[in-house]
Amino acid sequence: MADALPLLSSESVREALRARREIALVDVREEDPYAQEHPLFAVQLSAGRLELDAPWRLPRRDVTIAVYDDGEGLAEPSARRLQALGYTGVHLLAGGLEGWRRSGGELFRDVNVPSKAFGEQVEHERHTPSLPADEVKALIDGGADVVVLDARRFDEFQTMSIPTGTSVPGAELVLRVRDLAPNPRTRVIVNCAGRTRSIIGTQSLVNAGIPNPVAALRNGTIGWTLAGFELDRGRQRRFADTASVPSDAHRATAQRAAQALADRAGARRLDAAGLAAWAADASRTLYRWDVRSPEDYAAGHLPGFGSAPGGQLVQETDVFAAVRGARIVLADGGPRLDGVRAPMTAHWLAQLGWEVAWLTDTDPAQFTATGPHQPDSTPAPAVATVTPAQLAEQLTQGDTLVLDVGTSAAHVKGHVPGAWWVLRVQGVLGLAKALEQSPAARRIVVTCGNGALARFAAADLARATRAPVAVLDGGTAAWAAAGRPLEAGDARLLSPRIDRYRRPYEGTDAPRSAMQAYLDWEFGLVAQLGRDGTHGFEVLAAG
């Protein structure tokens, strides 16, 4: 019989957070239930994806971890699985989420809450300038000297954008703005979908001392929509179209401002020797992130550094740094593009309460790794595989059951014809349900987007059934790449679609009531921070 797992009380967790000792408070539910209610610094790490996500999100195997759920029965098996993966500091949160609630701990809604709450704190303390949608639209319609800079990811910009807007993800703003708005009288408007990246982007420009008048679009594309205005769709306008390489003078000005801000905020300058010392410190968790664009990263980056574009790193710090109290070191690019994005990002992370540094002595010769970011994960178990051609032949025989353990959104968009979607943690139960619908099935094939999660799910199922279990090699992506047809729709769901929380600011079809409720929630975050008392945010005063 396995030994009982050690417990951590809610107050012990809060004390560690206040003292800035390393701790990971891990919610192993799916994203939607997590988003309904969770502690401020809880990170969502789905029970069904631990093997894939724990190695890169929890890189130090002896870090203190408190695992919880809300009575679903996921916490203990997840904690045991983490132990099997080599984690030695695993605990259960005493009483789970209900224990946190009973202890008087504050509970927050939505995702990426620390960053969003911090954004509201910044606006509250710095009075970040903003303009309502009707004033911005009047400026655009009147032909005013104004540029609209969208601080979100480019894919978000493509989904919906403010007319005339240009995609300039957050970390690029200070580096690019003087080339995008060279006339100091040009008004600069920064927007995102809601509030946070608008606020942080605008305040970045204010902190960096650009001479232009600058303001956030109040409430972003939500505010624009609630005002009754139309958004553009499918726009392709990016900063690289007009300012792919900042001018030397503008880059130098941005560099001086960014580095001075990082110093003021308490971020550290780190050379190669300092980085080596941090990396050798086995008592601390260290995250290493390259804050440039994904394209810059793929073209060449420092070995050992992952990709976290600076704007998204500030927006999603709970994803990129799951261990509160850890160290973070940031890098940016070569001689013509370095020294702005990393210190600007560092100056925000320092205010968010992180021990953060940026590299000062990189050069292009060190950027020897290429290709997109490949996060660390657990080696997949050995399982039987089938090719798309083999699966297509098996499906004609009518005795093959296909289970899709990828995301529900991807399944609905397009899946192997006849496949049933199921959450991995419900795979065994889902298999029984699927076999009731497919009594002729004699073999089982498991798939997901790229086949990675399917291998772990197949190993689970192989222990629960006598039927042969195999994985579609390369996943559904390989099936589509081979020219095989995809089936769309949600007719065969064996689990509720709780793997993703529907964000009210995402896409273009959210109900207006949900948009307004989201804004009202954001407005209340400063008060919640005060009640919670664990955040440790220190907003930089005006210089």
pLDDT of residue 508: 61
Instruction: Say what the pLDDT of residue 429 is.
Output: 86
With H, G, I as helix, E, B as strand and everything else as coil, classify residue 523: helix
Check residue 336 and give its pLDDT.
52
User: Is the pLDDT higher at 362 or at 225?
Assistant: 225
Q: Is pLDDT of 335 > 60?
A: no
Q: Is the pLDDT of residue 337 over 70?
A: no
Residue range 7-110 in CATH 3.40.250.10: yes
Residue 231 has pLDDT above 60, yes or no: yes
State the span(s) of the chain assigned CATH 3.40.250.10: 7-110, 117-244, 254-366, 384-481
pLDDT number for residue 334: 59
Q: Quick one: average pLDDT of 320-342?
A: 88
Query: Token pair of 534, please?
Result: 């664990």
pLDDT in tens, 523-540: 999 999 999 999 999 999
pLDDT in tens, 338-380: 799 999 999 999 999 999 999 998 778 889 999 999 999 999 9
311 pLDDT more than 60:
yes
Average pLDDT of the segment spanning 74-103: 98
Residue 291's H or E segment, with its range, is none
pLDDT the model gives residue 507: 65
Q: Which CATH superfamily is domain 384-481 in?
A: Rhodanese-like domain (3.40.250.10)
CA distances to 39, 143, 326, 522 from 528, rounded to whole Å, are: 11, 41, 24, 10
Which pLDDT score is estimated for 244? Answer: 62
- Of 6, 22, 13, 19, the closest CA to residue 287 belongs to 22
pLDDT at 243: 56
Residue 451 bridge partners (DSSP) = none
- Cα–Cα distance, 35 to 509 (Å, whole number): 20
pLDDT on residue 279 = 97
User: How many alpha carbons lie under 13 Å from residue 458 in its C-beta half-sphere?
Assistant: 28
What does CATH list as the number for 254-366?
3.40.250.10
Q: Which H or E run contains 329? A: strand 327-331
How much is the mean pLDDT over the chain?
A: 95
pLDDT in tens, 153-202: 999 999 999 999 999 999 999 999 999 999 999 999 999 999 999 999 99
Please provide the size of the chain in residues: 543
* Beta strand pairing call for 90-93 and 214-217: unpaired
Query: What integer pLDDT is reported at residue 438 of this predicted model?
Result: 83
CATH superfamily for 117-244 is: Rhodanese-like domain (3.40.250.10)
Q: Mapping DSSP to helix (H, G, I), strand (E, B) and coil, where does residue 391 land?
A: helix
Which pLDDT score is estimated for 504?
83
The fraction of the chain above a pLDDT of 90, given in percent, is: 88
What's the confidence (pLDDT) of residue 35?
Answer: 98
Q: Report in angstroms the alpha-carbon separations of 512 from 227, 423, 504.
A: 10, 30, 9
Residue 152 has pLDDT above 70, yes or no: yes
pLDDT band at 435 (very low <50, low <70, confident <90, very high): confident
Stretch 58-70: mean pLDDT: 98
